[in-house]
Every structure is written in structure tokens, then in C-alpha cells.
Chain A
Amino acid sequence: MPLDTSSAYPLALLRVDGRRWNDLRRLHAAVRTQAAADGSAYLEMGNTKVMCTVTGPSEENKRRTAASTATGNTGGAGGGAGAGGAEVAVEIVVGGFSSVDRKRRGRGDKRIHELQTTLSKALAAALHTHLYPRSTIALSLHVLSQDGSLLAALLNASTLALVDAGIPMSDLPVACTAGLTSAASAADDPLVDLNAQEEQELPFLTLATLGDTDRVMVLVLETRVQAARLKDMVDLAADACKSVHKSLREVVRRRGEHMVEEGAVEKGASMAMDMDIDV
């Protein structure tokens, strides 16, 4: 990975795409991309491009009553439903054109199912689902291009779309990846926001936190790493999540300003979701 091997400071080395170890990729996000859906968002983390639409809260499907449990231990990919709170149903479609080689993934793919369950459980914990008993909040995610950090991008896009739909939540869930290089010379160097090539070769984890805190919503680690390095990776990812959080808040704030300009919302009118303008 490092281009410059003769430097005395390993952390100054550049990665394949010219970033330093703690540079996030270009995060571009747009909210309300689809007028027809209740909430929608489009997010790019570097070359990973994800679209998300939210429909709901809407009336519960009759067939759900047969398989509803309070914690979603059995049944389909849905969070707590029924009298307890709204169910968060997540559906992910990965386009066959999204990766370098064209590969068509069926609906029954267990990896996709795992992603759906993860997102559904994570969002069910962050959203105020108790306000909408017996309803369903349906999220539909489409992956247009994959270049690493897929779960993180999906979660960030879902967050924006849910904010756009106006569904109350305690804080913004944000996610990011962090990894370690195994540089031959020095100890492992940290890396943040890995792309596909780095993900294939290096140990990395995806971490999702709630807002600005250090409370972990999702942690997924699928590669082998020494136990002692786990703490470093988690700290790294938590810091990266804070940067992502700042960017997402900025996106939401700009959207709010735009809505005020348009006249969709009266300036100064108090809303359920107060905007605080950072100074």
C-alpha cells in the first residue's frame, strides 16, 4: 500500500488513492432525492454509492402478526413489532453492476440477509419506535457501486433518509470502517475508511456509533487480528464516526436552511425537530 517507503514517519505514507491514514474519502450526500417517497437519500463514500428510500410509518402487514416477537429473535428481517413499537423492515438490493465483475446476487443470499438484519436491529434501537405501535417503517436500499465500507455507507444513507422522512430518533447513527496495515517494517499502522482493495487485504472492522458518543451500535469484524489491536481499531473507528457525524449533520442542516428559504417552513416557527445552528 505505501508509496513512499523511505520516509522516517510511517504515518505520513500515502495510500493507493493518495490519502493519508486518517483521511476519509469524499463524502457526498443529498437528501430528498426522490419526491415520491416519504424520505430519501443518496450517499457517496468515495466510490461506494448507495441510495435509500423510506416509506412509513405505515399500516402493518397482516402476515406479520403470525411471526411477531418483541425482540425479533425469529421471523424475517424486522425489528420489534406489534404492540411494542414499529417494525423496521429493511430490504437491500445490490446491483449486479456494482462491483468490478458483474455478479448477480439472489434475494436469498445470506450475506445480504445478514446486512438487512443488522441494519434493522440497529435502527430499531435508535428510532423512537414506541411512538408508532403496529406500524411498519420500510427501508429500501440500493447499492449502485461498491468500493469498500458497504455496511457503513448503507447505515449512513439510512440515517439521512430517516431524518428526511421526519421519523423521530434519539441521535444520528453513523458508521465508518477502520483497519490496520501490516507494514513489514514498523508496527501496524492505522487506516480509516477503507476501499475495496484495502478491505480485501487488510484486517478491518465496521463500527456504528450513536451520534457523538462512544456508544457502539454495530461492530462487525470479519478478519483475523491480534486481540490487543482491537481497542486501537475501535478507538480509531469511533473518531472517524465523529467526523462522519459532523458531515451528516452539515447535510441535514443545509437541507433545513433550504426548506426555510423555500418557504416550506416558516422561519422561526418551532418544530418538533429543532435545528441548532452551530456557531
Chain B
Amino acid sequence: MPREAEPSLNERAFVVQALQEGLRIDGRALDQFRELDLKFGDQYGVADLTLGKTRIFAKVSAEVTTPYTDRPFDGIFTITTELSPMASPSFEVNRPTETEIMLSRLLEKTVRRSNALDTESLCLVSGQKCWSIRVDLHVLSHDGNLIDASCLAVVAALRHFRKPDTSIEGETLTIYTPAEREPVPLSWLHSPLCVTFSFFGEEADIVVMDANLLEEQLRVTSFTISFNKHGEICQGAKLGGTTVEAMTLIKCANDALDKVKELTTWLDLKLVEDSKRRDKGGLMAELSAENER
């Protein structure tokens, strides 16, 4: 019986009252994120992200196909999201709910439209062959804030992924297996990360970062903004709901920028840790063709 369990009146009233006193149910500060953990798989391009009790799994895969006819110089890059009943009994398989559509639209705008991945670099033989990179996102557990967690998982997985090395001689295209040549990372231009703000109160004046499921169900509106660490806004979306003062939104944007810088540093750290773990024996230094400058 897929029906989202609604919070009772007591919970509703209490959460709002607590927020008016500046307190959250789990004792966090209003702008504090829950505990973040990121694990990479043994295979390249597999990321398992935990944000409190929300858990997202992202997997990147690549295959060679023909490019779209109207874009012969670009590769194909798609992100698919799966919200299964494992995440929450109110989701059904293959029936897109509003949550799922908004999630995939936001990821699309943040990662695809902002050109985080250089699709031109995916082209192998223009008009005939190109790489098709596909990110499959599975929500394993839904405890609020799917958007921020998913974006982080997608970016982490894409930066972790290595595609097989190729070479072109004349008309023949050779794709090397990982055993023949070390796979190469994707051409990543910038890392966009999302921060979602939830608003509470009749005037929408209480601002909270990283809402858990109960807070999400009780919020009056939300604002998602994506930054990269260079300070560029990749997308911003406040889609309806109670009105918010424009100045509040501007302030949220500034707070989000600081948060994104923090998250980017954390993500870089995790990626470095993972490459160290793989790089037992200093093999990477031998394989790398870079000169020390």
C-alpha cells in the first residue's frame, strides 16, 4: 500500500516549536550536516555514500555506441535514478513519483547541463563512434535530503571512474582492456555539488540545512542551489511553496558556497585516500607518464 506515512499533529507542532527555539530533533545545529561517509568499490566508478541514515549507491559504466545524429562531436552522458521500495515503502518500482522526477531533473541540471563532464572528449570517431557514459543511481535508504546526497555520490563516482584507454590508427579504433593499458579518468571540468535549504514557519524565516525525512515532510518550501568550488552557481531552484524574502535566498546562497567548498575538500580527501589504497607499491608512479616539473 504505497502511501507516505504522515507525521502526527503532535510531531508537526513539536518540530516547528523546537525550530523556533533554534533546536532540532536530533540535536544538530540548524546548518549542520549529518555524518557523511563515502566508500568506493573495488571496481572503478562505484560509490556508496551515507548521509546520516540516507544511503545512495552510484555506479558508472561506459560503452561504445554511435553518437546522436544532431551532435556528431559529442559523446552520450545519461544519469538514471532508481527509487525502489527498499528506500521507502511509498516508492513503487517503475512508477516515477514526484520525488524521483525532481531528483533526476536536479541532477540533470547540476551535472549535465553545467558541463561538468566534457562530452566532447567522449567522442572517438566523429559521427560514428563515441563513449556513452551512464550513471545509475540507486537510493538504498531514504531519510531525507536525497538531492544533496545523490549529487555528491554522482560526482564522486564519476571522478572515481576510469574508462578504458583507446587509440585510433587511421580508421581502426582499438579499445584496450584494463590488463593491456591502465584505464584513464574522465575529462572532468568542475565538481558541482548541491545544498538544499528547508524553510519552516509561516513567514518561512527559519532556515535549515540537510533536513531529515521528518523535517522534509514538515517544511513549507525548499531551495536547492549548486555550486562548484570556484564560486560559480551551476543551478538554483526554488520551486513554489511559501514565499521567501529575496535577501534570505541570497544569504542561503552564500552559506551554500562555504558548505560546498567544505564538501569538495572532503571529497578530494576521500578520492586521494582511495587512490593510495589502490596504489600499493607505488605502481601508479611507475605507470604515470608525467614528468616531474
Residues of B within 8 A of A (CB): 3-4, 6, 90-91, 97-99, 101-102, 104-105, 108-109, 113-115, 216-219, 221, 223, 227, 231-247, 249-250, 253-254, 257
Contacts and interface: CB of A to CB of B under 8 A. Distances in A.
Chain A residues touching B, range? 35 or more
Given A110-B104, A124-B240, A125-B221, 15 more contacts: A73-B98, A73-B216, A73-B217, A74-B4, A74-B98, A77-B98, A110-B108, A122-B239, A213-B243, A214-B247, A225-B232, A226-B231, A226-B233, A227-B231, A227-B254
A110 B105 contact: yes
A234 B237 contact: no
Nearest to A170: B243
A121 B253 contact: no
Contact of B237 (A69, A210, A220, A235): A220
Contact of A230 (B218, B221, B250): B250
B239 A75 contact: no
Interface stretch (A55-63, A111-119, A188-196): A111-119
Which of A66, A221, A226, A227 gathers the greatest number of chain B CB atoms within 10 Å?
A: A227
A71 interface: yes
B99 A113 contact: no
Contacts of A210: 243
A122 B4 CA distance: 22
Contacts of B114: 224
Contact of A66 (B3, B105, B249): B3
Contacts of B99: 73-74
B161 to A, nearest CB: 23
Interface of A: 66-67, 69-77, 110-111, 113-114, 117-126, 205, 209-210, 213-228, 230-231, 234-235, 238
Contact of B102 (A114, A205, A230): A114
A72 B240 CA distance: 12
A215 B239 contact: no
A113 B91 CA distance: 18
A125 B233 contact: no
A122 B240 contact: yes
Contact of B97 (A74, A215, A220): A74
Contacts of A70: 6
A214 B250 CA distance: 12
B241 A121 contact: yes
Contacts of B227: 227
A212 to B, nearest CB: 12
Contacts of A120: 240
Nearest to A118: B239
Nearest to A211: B243
Nearest to A231: B250
26 contacts: A66-B3, A71-B218, A71-B219, A72-B98, A73-B4, A73-B98, A110-B108, A111-B105, A113-B101, A114-B101, A114-B239, A120-B240, A121-B221, A121-B240, A125-B221, A125-B241, A214-B247, A215-B245, A217-B240, A219-B237, A221-B236, A225-B232, A226-B233, A227-B231, A227-B232, A228-B231
